[in-house]
Structure 1
Amino acid sequence: MEIYRTRYEVDNLKSLYARYGSKPTPSKVFLLGCENGDVSSKFQPSLVKVNWKYSDSAQIKTISFQKNYIFNANAKKFLDIGLPEELPNEYFSYTRNGKRQAILKTKSDSKSTKPEQFIVVYDQDKVIKTIDVKSLNDQMTILENASYSSFVLNDDGTILLCTVEVNEKSTKGKEDNPSLADYDINSHEYRQSWGEQMNTIFHSSIAIINLELNKLVLIEKVGSSLVEPFFFKSSDNTHYSVGCIGLQELPYKLGLIYCPTRGSFLLGCKVSTEFSEVSPVEPEVYYGQEANLNFSNPRVYHNNQLNGFDCKVLFLERNAGGPHNKSVRLQQFCFETRKVQTIIDNKENRKLNASKTEYSDIGPLFVNNLPKNCFSNDGKYAFLSSYTPLETKVFAINLSECFMKPLPFHHESCDVLDVENNWITAVGSSINYLPNAYLCNLNEVSDDFTNLQWMPIEDEDSKKLTKIHFETFSFPSRDFPDKLVNCIFTSPVDMVKTPGPTMIMPHGGPHSITPACYYRSIAQYTELGLKTVLVNYVGSLGVDDEYVNALLGNVGTSDVHDVYDSIQYVIKNKHADKDRIILSGGSHGGFLVTSISGQHPELGFLACISRNPVIDLTSMCVTSDIPDWTICEALGNKGLIPFNRMYATSPQEVATMHNVSPIAHIQNVKVPTLLLLGKEDLRVPHSQGLIYHKLLKAKGIETRCFIYDDCHSLQKINVDFDCFINMAKFIEKFIYYKL
C-alpha cells in the first residue's frame, strides 16, 4: 500500500482526475458512403464520423469533438484521418438521406431569463435559412432536455417537430405594486414543474414548423404535457400525421427523471400541409385512456424503398406506479386499426441455471432508451440494449414472430447507438476497457446471427486498463434464498492476492443496477490502491419484476442484509481487509451505507462516504418530488398509489417509515462519515443529509459535510472534481494515519 500513498497528495489527485476525465466516450456515429444519399441493401461506409465527449476539468465543461475514419472493407479496420474537430453544444436533426440538417442554436443572456433561439437549416452545400424562434411565437422556448424532448425532421427536411414550452407573458421586472394598472394578481401563484433536473418545465406542447413558409402550428392538450413527437404514415398527401406521448399532469405532477412510471397516453393528430389549422390543435388519445400505463420511446419504421413512414409505432410500456425502472413490455400500436400488439412481454421470470449459481440470458427487458432508429432495413428486426443481471446486452427483436435473441459481444457492456443502412453502431466497454465505438454489418450476418462480427473503431489494445482486475460473484440472498445477490469485485492487479482497503458500493435507486461496464470512478479508486465491491442487491434491475418487487416493504432490512453478506463474502474470499472496509453510496446507496453503519457498528468500518442520502423516510414523503417512492419502498405498495395517499396516513405507517430509516439507528453509529450534498436536489432534499451530519456532531462522531450548488446527481464537473478530492483526502486519513 505504501506505493499508493503519494497519490493522495492534492496535486496528484487533481492530475488523476484530469487524466481519466479526458478519456472520451463515443456518443454518435455517422456513416457516409452512398452517392446522392441513395440507400443500398449492400451499403458500405467509406467514411465514418464519430462524435466523442469528455470532461474538461480545466474549462469545467463537457467537450464534444468529432473524428473521421476511413473504412477498409477488406481488412475490416478503421484508420483515423486528420485532427479532431471540436463541436458546438447544439441540438440537431438530419433527414434520413443526409441531404438536410436543422440545428437549434441557443444564446443565453445573463440579463434575460429567456434564451434567444434560432433554427438554422442547411443543405449539403450551404445555409438555406435561419429562423428566429421568437418570430414564430415570442413566448415559445424549444426544449433541449435529452430525456424529455425531440427534434425531428421529415423526409425532405421541410417540416420540423419539436417539444416546446409556451410561457405566459411575464410581468417579472415590473414594480411589484398592487396599485399599478397592469399589476398581475396571478404572478405569485404556485406552478409545479416536473421536478428534479426539470424544474423549469411546467407544461410542454408540440410544435410542427414549416421551415419553408415560417409557419407554426402548436399541438396542445389541457392537463397533459406532450413529449417525444414523431411522424407516422398519413392516409393522404394533404396532411401530416403526428404522434406523441402525453404525460398526466393532474391532480399534480410527480418527478419525472429516473422515474418512467408516470401515467401517460399515446396521442395523434393531423395537420394540413397548408398549415391552415387554427393553433393550437388538440390531439386525440389513441391508447392508454385510463392513464394507468406509462409509455416512452416511440419509434416508427421508415420504409426506405417506399420512402415513407409506417402506420405502426414501436414503444416501451410499463404499468404506471409501483417501483421505478421496472421491466418493460415492447409494444406496437397500429394507427390504422387502432390495435396494440405485444411484441415482447415481461411476465416470464428469468431462470437460474442447473447449479443455481447464475441467471440465464433470456428474461424480461430492462430498457430505458431505444435507439432513435432501431430497425433493420427490411423492418423485420429491431435492435436494442437491455440490462441482464450483471451485463448490458444487445438483443435482436423479431417483430413478426415476437421473439428476441441475445447477440454475442466480447465485452460485458454494449449499448446500441443507432441502426443505419443495416449497420449497427454501438458503444462497448468493460470494467477494465475504456468505451469504444463498434460497427456491425447486418448484410453479412446469417439469420441466426451466429456469424455476427463487431468491428472496433479504435484499436482495442489502446482501450485496455491493465492495472484493473475484476471478477463477478453471486450468492443466495438470506431473505430470498431462491434469488441471487450479484456483485462485481475489482482490485489493483498487484493487490489481488493481498489484503487491502475495500470500498463497498451499493447503487442507488434502489431499482437500478451497476453492470460490468467502464466507470471512471472505479479506475480512479484503483489508482489509489482501493478494491471495490459493486453490490446488486435483491431489488436491482436485470433479473425480473418478481426480483424487483421483492424489495418493496423491505428497504432497510433485506437490502442491508445483502450488503452485509457481500462484505463477509469478500473478506472471506477476495482478500478484503476486514479492518479497512469503507462504505460509499449515493441516494438509496447513501441510505444503505448509513443504515449498515448504524445497524452493524461491530464491523468497525474505516469510513463512510454518503452522497445525497435518504436519512428519514417520514420527512422524505413530504419534501421530495417523488412522494410515491417513499410509500412504495417503505410500505410495500406495488401498484398505482392514489394521489391523496402519497404520505403516511397513520401512526403505524409513520412508525414503519421511521424504523427502517438510517436515522433510527444513529445512536449506534461510530464510523467517521463524509456527507456530500446538493443544494438544488429536489429528489432527496439536502436537509436529509444535513440533519444526519448535525446529529453525528452532537454525538461526537467525526464528520464533515460539503454542500454544492448542484442537483441530485452531483455531476457538474467542478462538483464531481471537488467530491473526488475530498473523498480521497477523507479516507486517506484513516487508511494511513489511523491510530
Structure 2
Amino acid sequence: MDSDQITGVYAKVSGLPAPLSAHVSEEQLPEVRLYTVTAEWIQSDLVQSARLRYSQQWTLIADSNNHRSIRTVLPPGPCTPVSGELLSEVSPIHGLRAVIRETGSQQLLQIWDRHGLRKCLNLSALNIHGRVYDDAQFGCLRWSECESKLLYVAESSRSASAETRPGESASRKDRSVYCEDWGEALTDKSVPALCVVDLHGGAVGVLQGVPPDVSPGQALWAPGTQSVFFVGWYHEPFRLGLKFCSNRRSALFRLGLDGHCECISGDNLSVSCPRLSPDGSTLIYLQGRVFGPHNQCHSVQQLDLKTWKISTMLDVVSRPQAGEFAGVYEALPSHCWSADGQKVVFSSAIRNCKDVFMVDRRTKKVTSLSDKHQRELEDLSDLSKVYGCWKLLTVQRDLMVVCCSSPNSPPMLRVGFLPSAGETVNWRTLQQPIMTFDYLWTALDVTPPSEEDNQCYPGLDFGAVLVKPSRVVCETRTPLVVFIHGGPHSQFPAEWNSTTAGLVELGFAVLMVNYRGSTGFGQDNIMSLIGQIGSQDVKDVQRAVMTALQSDKTLDPKRLAVIGGSHGGFLSCHLIGQYPDFYRACAARNPVINAATLLGTSDIVDWRYTSAGFQFSYDNVPTAETLAAMLQKSPIAHAALIKAPVLLMLGGKDRRVSPHQGLELYKILKSRGSPVRLLWFPEEGHSLSRVDTQVDCFLNTVLWLRQHL
C-alpha cells in the first residue's frame, strides 16, 4: 500500500463529522408539540487542510397526550455551513441568536431573528477591548434575563491595562515589556476582561471592579441584570498553563455592575463551570484541589442564592465500587439542569467508558441514563450493540441531546427525555452515521500482581480497550500497536478515535491503555501515580500488553509497536528502553524525555515537581535532589538500551513540552547509530492539531510501523 492509499484511509476515518454542541427549542401547536434540535458539527477536510463547521436541524413531533413521548422524527434539513462564527447563543425567550463573527481582521457582534439580521456591531472598530475569547477555558456569550444585554470575555486593551509615566505613551512604554500569557494553546490570552453590550443603545463597556490579581472568565448573569458571576483564576505571582489543568487556584466571584466585587467560594480551591438553575435559586459549580494532579475528580458544589450557603451536591469519589458511579472528571455542559431545577445531568468517565448521569438534588442519588448497561445484560457477547461513549451536549426542556460512539461506530446524535422515578430513557436516534466499521472491540480489566501494587494505595486496578480487525489477513497473527494516552490524568474511553480506526483499517490491532492515574477509576487511582511516573505507569502498560496477548491468541507477540503523545510519548520511550527486546518500533509525539531539563521550559512547572513526588511552591529553586529524581524517572535514563527504531514528531511552538526534549533523544540515538527519524512542525504547538499535520503524522507513523514490523 502506497502513501496515497494510506492517506485515503485516513481521510475516510478522520473526515467523519462529530457534533460540537446542540440547542433545543419547543413550540406548542393546537394538537401537537414540536421540538427543534439544532446541532453544530465539525468535519475535517483534507483537501482544504481545514476543519469545517456546519449546523443541522431536526423537528421532533411529540405525542398530543404525552409531551415526553416522541411520535415522529422528521428528516433533517440540509447542512448549513457556519463560516467565521466564534461564539453563538440563542436567547431563552424570543429565540434571538447572538453571534460573534470574524471576518478578516474584524470581529462583529450580530443579532439575528426570524426576519434576518437585526443588529450588527463592529467590536474591533469600537476599540473598547482586544479580541473576544472563544476558547472553552475563559470564553462565554450570555444573554441577560430581559434579553437587552450580552456578556462576554475579551482581551483587555493594552493601553487600558498599562500604567504610564507622565508624558510617556503606553504604546512606546510597553513595546518590549514581557507580557505573561496563560500557556500552551492560550498564548493570546493574557489579561481577560468582562464586557457587556447594551443592545438598546449599542454601547459596549468593560466591567470594572475585578480584583487586579485575578483573570476572569466563564461568566454568567446573576438573577436580575445588576450583577454577574464569574470564575477568577489567580495569576500572581505568575501564570501557570491552564489548558488541560483543572488544578489552578481560582474562585467564584460576584461582580455588580456598580463595580462591587466579592469572593463567594473558599480560599485555596480550584473552581469552574458555574451553572444557574432555571428558577435562579441555585448556582452549582465544580470544585477541586490546587496543584497536585492537573486533572482530577471534582466535587459538585451548590450555592443557595437566598441564604448564600454552600453545600456539596456530589463529593469526590475516592474508590468507586464495581459498576458504580466513579466521579466527575470533565466540564459540565452549559445547559445541564432539569426544567424543575431538581436534577443535574452531565457526562463523565467510568473506567474504560464514558456515560451520562443524573443526580437528584434532594436525595443525591446518581443514576446512569444510557442504555449501555441494559444492552450488556441482554447480550454480553455482542459489544457492537453497545456505545462505549455517551457525551451529553445539552439538556433543555428536559430533552437530552447526546453524542454516542464506539471504536467501530462514528459519532451520532441521540435524544431522550429525562425519566421519571423508576423509568428508563426511551432513546431515539436522530441520524445514523454515514458508515460503521467491521471492527471487534472489548474492554479489558487489568489487576496488577502483588509485587506491582502501590503500597500507599493498595488494591487498585486499571483497564484498556482492545480494537482489532474482524478478520485476520492471510491467516496470520495480527501485529499489535500499543497506544498510550497523555495527560497523564486523562482517559482513552471506548469511543470513536480516528487514529485507532485508521490503524485497524490498515490491518493492525490497537490496545489503548488506561494505566493507574487515568480518570474514571476514582481519585485514589489518580493520586497513586504521584511520585511513581516512569515506574508504575510503565509496568501497567506492560501488564496490559501481556494481558491482551494472553487473552487473544490472534495477536502477534513478535510484532509489537508503541505510540503516544506527551506523557504517552514519555511512556512509549520508557517502554522501549526498559523492555528493549520486546517492542519492534516506536512513534512518539512531543514526548517528555528528560524531566530535569524540562523543568525550566514548561508552562506547567508545578507538574514537574509533583510528578516526581515533590511539593510545589512558586518560589521553588531546583536542588540536586529534585533534578536527580527527575532524571532517574525519565526515559533518557534508559536511552542507551533502546534498540527499537524511533519516529519523533515535534511541534516547534510547543509550550507544554519543549521540542528540545525530543531533540535530546534524537541526538543520543543518532550518536549510537540507532534508527531514528524526526518530523519537525515549526508552527505547531503541543497537540499537533492542524489537519495537514495530523495527516503527515498518521502517514509517517504507518509507514514507520510497516517498515519495522
User: What is the TM-score with the length of structure 2 in the denominator?
Assistant: 0.91
Q: Distance in 1 between matches of 2:307 and 2:35?
A: 42
> Helix, strand or coil: the match of 2:95?
coil
Native 8 Å contact 1:428 1:437 kept in 2: yes
> Helix, strand or coil: the match of 1:259?
coil
Native 8 Å contact 1:232 1:311 kept in 2: no
> Helix, strand or coil: the match of 2:264?
strand
User: Would the alpha carbon gap of residues 122 and 636 (structure 1) be closer, same or farther in structure 2, given more than 3 Å must change?
Assistant: same
1:655 is displaced (CA, Å) by 1.1
2:556 aligned with 1:577, yes or no? yes
Aligned identity (percent) is 25
Which amino acid is 1:99 matched to? Answer: G
Native 8 Å contact 2:128 2:157 kept in 1: no
1:656 is displaced (CA, Å) by 1.0
For residues 505-544 of structure 1, the aligned pairs below 5 Å read 505-544=483-522
Q: Distance in 1 between matches of 2:411 and 2:233?
A: 34
Q: Distance in 2 between matches of 1:82 and 1:188?
A: 53
Which amino acid is 1:193 matched to? Answer: D
User: Which residue of 1 is the match for residue 398 of structure 2?
Assistant: 422
| 1:654 counterpart (591, 607, 627) | 627
User: Would the alpha carbon gap of residues 399 and 136 (structure 1) be closer, same or farther in structure 2, given more than 3 Å must change?
Assistant: farther
> Helix, strand or coil: the match of 1:230?
strand
1:69 is displaced (CA, Å) by 3.0
**Which stretch of the first structure deviates more once superposed, 534-543 or 130-139?**
130-139
1:520 is displaced (CA, Å) by 1.1
> Helix, strand or coil: the match of 1:254?
coil
User: Would the alpha carbon gap of residues 348 and 706 (structure 1) be closer, same or farther in structure 2, given more than 3 Å must change?
Assistant: closer
User: Would the alpha carbon gap of residues 181 and 610 (structure 1) be closer, same or farther in structure 2, given more than 3 Å must change?
Assistant: closer
Q: Distance in 1 between matches of 2:539 and 2:215?
A: 41
Q: Distance in 1 between matches of 2:277 and 2:154?
A: 25
User: Which residue of 2 is the match for residue 691 of structure 1?
Assistant: 664
CA displacement 1:425-463 (0-9 Å, x = unmatched): 110111111111110023xx3313x32111111137x55
For residues 167-566 of structure 1, the aligned pairs below 5 Å read 167-169=157-159, 184-219=172-207, 220-234=210-224, 240-271=226-257, 277=258, 281=259, 283-288=261-266, 290=267, 292-303=268-279, 310-351=280-321, 359-366=322-329, 368-410=330-372, 411-442=387-418, 445-448=419-422, 450-459=423-432, 463-466=435-438, 468-478=439-449, 479-480=452-453, 482-495=459-472, 499-566=477-544
User: Which residue of 1 is the match for residue 619 of structure 2?
Assistant: 644
1:61 is displaced (CA, Å) by 1.1
> Helix, strand or coil: the match of 1:623?
coil
User: Which residue of 2 is the match for residue 69 of structure 1?
Assistant: 58
> Helix, strand or coil: the match of 2:185?
coil
For residues 694-705 of structure 1, the aligned pairs below 5 Å read 694-705=667-678
CA displacement 1:350-401 (0-9 Å, x = unmatched): 12xxxxxxx32223222x2111111111111010001111111111111122
Q: Distance in 2 between matches of 1:563 and 1:204?
A: 41
CA displacement 1:497-553 (0-9 Å, x = unmatched): 952110011211111110111111111111110001111111111111111111111
User: Which residue of 2 is the match for residue 106 of structure 1?
Assistant: 102
User: Which residue of 1 is the match for residue 41 of structure 2?
Assistant: 52
2:122 aligned with 1:146, yes or no? no
> Helix, strand or coil: the match of 1:602?
coil
Native 8 Å contact 1:329 1:342 kept in 2: yes
Native 8 Å contact 2:194 2:217 kept in 1: yes
> Helix, strand or coil: the match of 1:593?
helix
Which amino acid is 1:687 matched to? Answer: H
Q: Distance in 1 between matches of 2:265 and 2:446?
A: 42
Which amino acid is 1:484 matched to? Answer: D
User: Which residue of 2 is the match for residue 722 of structure 1?
Assistant: 696
| 1:84 counterpart (79, 88, 100) | 79
2:642 aligned with 1:669, yes or no? yes
1:45 is displaced (CA, Å) by 3.1
User: Would the alpha carbon gap of residues 631 and 187 (structure 1) be closer, same or farther in structure 2, given more than 3 Å must change?
Assistant: same
Q: Distance in 2 between matches of 1:229 and 1:136?
A: 22
Native 8 Å contact 1:158 1:210 kept in 2: yes
CA displacement 1:64-113 (0-9 Å, x = unmatched): 122333435467553424432222231211111352121112233xxxxx
User: What is the TM-score with the length of structure 1 in the denominator?
Assistant: 0.87
Native 8 Å contact 2:354 2:388 kept in 1: yes
Native 8 Å contact 1:226 1:244 kept in 2: yes
1:619 is displaced (CA, Å) by 1.4
1:572 is displaced (CA, Å) by 2.1
> Helix, strand or coil: the match of 1:102?
strand
Q: Distance in 1 between matches of 2:168 and 2:308?
A: 54
CA displacement 1:236-281 (0-9 Å, x = unmatched): xxx522110110000001000000110011111222xxxxx5xxx3
User: Which residue of 2 is the match for residue 586 of structure 1?
Assistant: 565
Which amino acid is 2:559 matched to? Answer: R
Structure 2 alignment gaps of length 5 or more: 64-69, 161-166, 373-386
Q: Distance in 2 between matches of 1:181 and 1:25?
A: 48
> Helix, strand or coil: the match of 1:568?
helix
**Which stretch of the first structure deviates more once superposed, 592-601 or 338-347?**
338-347
1:182 is displaced (CA, Å) by 8.7
Native 8 Å contact 2:96 2:113 kept in 1: yes
2:680 aligned with 1:733, yes or no? no
Native 8 Å contact 1:624 1:682 kept in 2: yes
Structure 1 alignment gaps of length 5 or more: 1-5, 109-114, 171-178, 272-276, 304-309, 352-358
> Helix, strand or coil: the match of 2:243?
coil
> Helix, strand or coil: the match of 1:260?
coil
**Which stretch of the first structure deviates more once superposed, 127-136 or 527-536?**
127-136
Which amino acid is 1:228 matched to? Answer: Q
CA displacement 1:571-595 (0-9 Å, x = unmatched): 2222321211011011000000101
Native 8 Å contact 1:245 1:266 kept in 2: yes
1:688 is displaced (CA, Å) by 0.4
Which amino acid is 2:22 matched to? Answer: V
2:602 aligned with 1:624, yes or no? yes
2:184 aligned with 1:157, yes or no? no
2:98 aligned with 1:127, yes or no? no
1:33 is displaced (CA, Å) by 3.8
1:482 is displaced (CA, Å) by 1.2
Q: Distance in 1 between matches of 2:171 and 2:139?
A: 34
Native 8 Å contact 1:556 1:592 kept in 2: yes
Native 8 Å contact 2:214 2:235 kept in 1: yes
Which amino acid is 1:589 matched to? Answer: G
CA displacement 1:606-646 (0-9 Å, x = unmatched): 21000000000101111000001111111254xxx32112x
What is the total number of aligned residue pairs between the two structures?
672
CA displacement 1:442-499 (0-9 Å, x = unmatched): 3xx3313x32111111137x55322x10111112123226111201111100029952
Native 8 Å contact 1:555 1:633 kept in 2: yes
Native 8 Å contact 1:635 1:653 kept in 2: no
1:118 is displaced (CA, Å) by 1.4
2:577 aligned with 1:612, yes or no? no
Q: Distance in 2 between matches of 1:214 and 1:60?
A: 38
> Helix, strand or coil: the match of 1:51?
strand
Native 8 Å contact 1:331 1:342 kept in 2: yes
Native 8 Å contact 1:231 1:243 kept in 2: yes
Q: Distance in 1 between matches of 2:125 and 2:638?
A: 59
